[in-house]
A and B are shown apart, each in its own frame.
Chain A
Amino acid sequence: MATTARRADRWAGVVSFLDSPWAAPAVVLVVLATGAALLAAWYGVSAVSAFWFGSIGSWYGFTSGTLVRAVPLILTGLGVAIAFRAGVFNIGADGQLLAGATAAAYVGLEWSAALGHASLPAALILGTAAGALWAGVAALLRARFGVLEVISTLMLNFVATDLVAFLVRGPLQEPLHIYPQSATLPSVARLPTFGPTTQLHWGLALALVLAGAVWWFLARTAAGFRLRIVGANPFAAAVTGRVRVTRVAAWAFLASGALAGLAGAIEITAVTYALYDNLSPGYGFTAIAVAVLAGLNPVGVVFAGVLFAALETGATAMQRDAGVPSVWASVVEAALILILVAGASIRARAGNRHLRDAAS
């Protein structure tokens, strides 16, 4: 009996730590420090230094590298967080991002002569709408026919990728019809940067405002509350008779796609200025990791997005300046996710044991 009690005690300590808001940052710090120590041991201090200065240790690296890369991760991460909160497993953020990028490129290229200074807002709004529409296909299939969104959104990613590949070789190809890419957007359709010497653009401000808005929506509004109960327990939500579960989930799905679509529109109007193959290096998939690491908390998504962006730009700098393979960052990202998921599972199991002990 004494051992059981002691074991329960030990679990209680772990659980109370995992429940505290410091759990995720602590895990992140430990994993990062371990990674840095291993790096220094294997490749020498120059690798760690390249990583540091390339990601957050220099003003240029932080603003023009990390933060620029963080914008699509934050926006798609917010999208994934909203969907997951509503119990919708949207893993198609990458496809929705491409849909948004395509619409923004189309508007910027074809309508900018007519729209003038309205081109940029039009590109962003229609990009957002295209992302929602792309998610809407899967949302409709789910609401009408009960098609699993994990399957449909994943498949729609491939459709979007191939659609972009077709468009940049066909209707949207640059005027010389030589290269598989679209023409470059005119300057009226471009999102400005914060200054001439930086790559950092106003998309960051948009992402931060939206993170705040999503947080406020989920935490402070009745609709946000309904979304959360649908995610927590759809059956209980249905039983109340006050929540239309299918409809709430569908709206969350659309909002999720809209955020990913906006991310794509911003990439086009602020970073690449043209539509290409390989536009997204898997932003929509990294977004899942970002959202999970953030505990599906919109404010946490901002930090997790910046963290993953820093890992990736740092890894690039490390390959560039120290010759270290950039897959190292993927290993750290994977380790973070594994440890956090394991932590969540320990918490759930220990929580159950706690309840049983209390009941007996």
Chain B
Amino acid sequence: MNKRRFSIIINTTIALAVVACSDAPKSAGAAATPFRVALLTPGPVSDHSWNAGAYEGLLRIRDSLGAAISNIETKTPADFEDNFRQYGAQAYRLVFGHGFEFQDAARRVAPDYPNTDFVTTSGNTTGPNLAGLEFDLANPSYLAGMIAGAMTRTGVIGVIGGTELPPVRKSFVAFEQGARRANPHVRVLTSYIGNWDDVSAGREQALAQIARGADVIFQNADAAGLGVFQAARQSAHVYVFGSNSNQNDVAPDVTLGSVVIDLPHAFLTVAREVKDGTFRGRVISLGMTDDVVSLVLNPAMTSRIPAPVLTTVDSVRAQMLRGAFSAVDTLAPVAP
């Protein structure tokens, strides 16, 4: 009896499964949409940060360019390559890998799918259909540096990074340049936390800099950077500049401003190139003049910044946007 009942259940379910599978056409390969864009993220797109920005960019590509979109969260290097291949095989026009970690897989896959363009955020690997996307933080960092140099009472300011990635270092060098323009004798302390997520390590580094006299700190350390805000809050007269996303609301009482990357706009800019056929494999660097990166001051704190400083910053910003002036884009430290 039991066996018979089981066999009935099994037969029914097999029949169901067969029906479910057989009437499914290969919808994936045969869609008629001409422009399709895909995104691989290293984490969930609900993170309100790095991945969320990329996903928002994908949605903007859909809405502005009428693209069909697909996204996937990938966890391991094996997943990266497999998903690049799958999108390539389905003839997606543009595939983003959102992080430097995607570039090895992209380099292996790109030659096999010449009709698909691959872009890795923060990557520096290039090929005929493979580009890196990097953000030029130099100009807005320079502006932040000008404010920091003008506001320091001790003559010591600090920069704290997650790890020593080239864009982070360039941003810090520009910050130092800006600070020297405002105060030629300023001393700059530099620390790297060693990761991007250890909040307490970020706090320790900031407290150490504060103990050495730093009273304005520019941080670029994602989640670990939250510790820098904590350290500033528990010390008197210490200000912070944030990076990457608008962090002015994280600690409105100590944050002067943030160097903000507009990820959605950057993604849209790249997708537009691909759609227009002007895309070339290279390191795409998007900065202030592309409307992708900007210094956003914290409205709650602008009253603390002396008016002449703000005026100078505004005029330098205008020069930068006109192309009349630019922070030196370099990895080398500034000569004192």
**A contacts, CB < 8 Å to B:** 10, 13-14, 17, 26, 29-30, 32-34, 36-37, 40, 45-46, 48-50, 52-54, 57, 60, 64-65, 68-69, 169, 177-181, 184, 199, 267, 271-274, 276, 278-281, 313, 316-317, 319-321, 323, 326
Contact = CB atoms under 8 A, between A and B. Distances in A.
B296 to A, nearest CB: 28
Contacts of B16: 33, 36-37
B39 to A, nearest CB: 10
A285 to B, nearest CB: 13
B244 interface: no
Given A60-B89, A169-B194, A199-B82, A53 B13 contact: no
A75 to B, nearest CB: 15
Interface string B61-78: 000000000101111111
Contact of B24 (A29, A32, A49): A49
A46 to B, nearest CB: 5
Contacts of B13: 29-30, 32-34, 37
A122 B250 CA distance: 52
B104 A184 contact: yes
Interface size class of B (residues with CB under 8 A): 35 or more
Contact of B101 (A46, A57, A276): A276
A274 B104 CA distance: 9
Contacts of A53: 24, 26, 28
What is the predominant secondary structure among interface residues of chain B facing chain A? Answer: helix
A320 B86 contact: yes
Contact of A178 (B1, B6, B76, B166): B166
Given A49-B25, A316-B83, A40 B20 contact: yes
B1 A320 contact: no
B3 interface: yes
A57 B21 contact: yes
Contacts of A30: 9-10, 13
B78 A68 contact: yes
Given A36-B16, A281-B75, 8 more contacts: A32-B17, A52-B21, A181-B101, A199-B81, A199-B82, A278-B76, A320-B72, A326-B73
Given A26-B10, A50-B28, A180-B163, A271 B78 contact: yes
B2 A13 contact: yes
B28 A321 contact: yes
A316 B76 CA distance: 12
A346 B79 CA distance: 39
A267 B101 CA distance: 17
A181 B42 CA distance: 15
A259 B75 CA distance: 23
